[in-house]
Homo-oligomer: A and B are copies of this chain.
């Protein structure tokens, strides 16, 4: 079996933003759907690991887009496993316009947990047999790995979101894709009209649940590059991120 899984998607008008370009939330879903399809076909998807009471947890996600495709453009998303470690696996993505150029890449890091104890399981030990035919270390993913983000200090919240039912996934936590939208929405419509969001980094630190209020923090660390945080209490960080605009 090919080590790379490919999935074609169309940029549908109701998944586009105020510019009629694909939004990051939908792109994030498309990437994760492609990852799911890759894992399902190769024996380490949801249906394979749920009977062992295991679950995949997304730990880091970085997406870098030279441009965002416009309405009705057809895309091919490719994904492959770059490496497998004791507790983590790295999965990369390429985003290409069909009949055109590669327009972006993404990197992700995943852990697997026991659904009862919520503790990470020994991925390399328990799943090496499943993975070893599917690791592709040398396929190019020419974007920088995720930045090591230190906690933000001395910041005050710039906005808030009260968690609602549609934010919540099957595990009872805020859906990991929703945070992509929350991070983009820290920035005003005017700012986003003037600046293309080129790179998004997300580090998932803690879970948040229905009824909590999320507070958003940002700090411009270089021109048009912002470190951001989402907290569910003044001291508990849920997500840390970096957004780089052109």
Contacts and interface: CB of A to CB of B under 8 A. Distances in A.
Contact of A18 (B23, B46, B165): B165
Given A159-B162, A162-B159, A17 B168 contact: yes
A19 B169 CA distance: 8
Integer count of this chain's copies in the complex: 2
Nearest to A25: B166
A189 interface: yes
A192 B165 contact: yes
A185 B184 CA distance: 21
Contacts of A187: 165
Given A189-B210, A210-B189, A16 B165 contact: no
Contact of A166 (B46, B175, B184, B210): B184
A184 B46 CA distance: 28
Interface in A183-209: 184-185, 187-189, 192
A172 interface: yes
Contacts of A162: 159
A76 interface: no
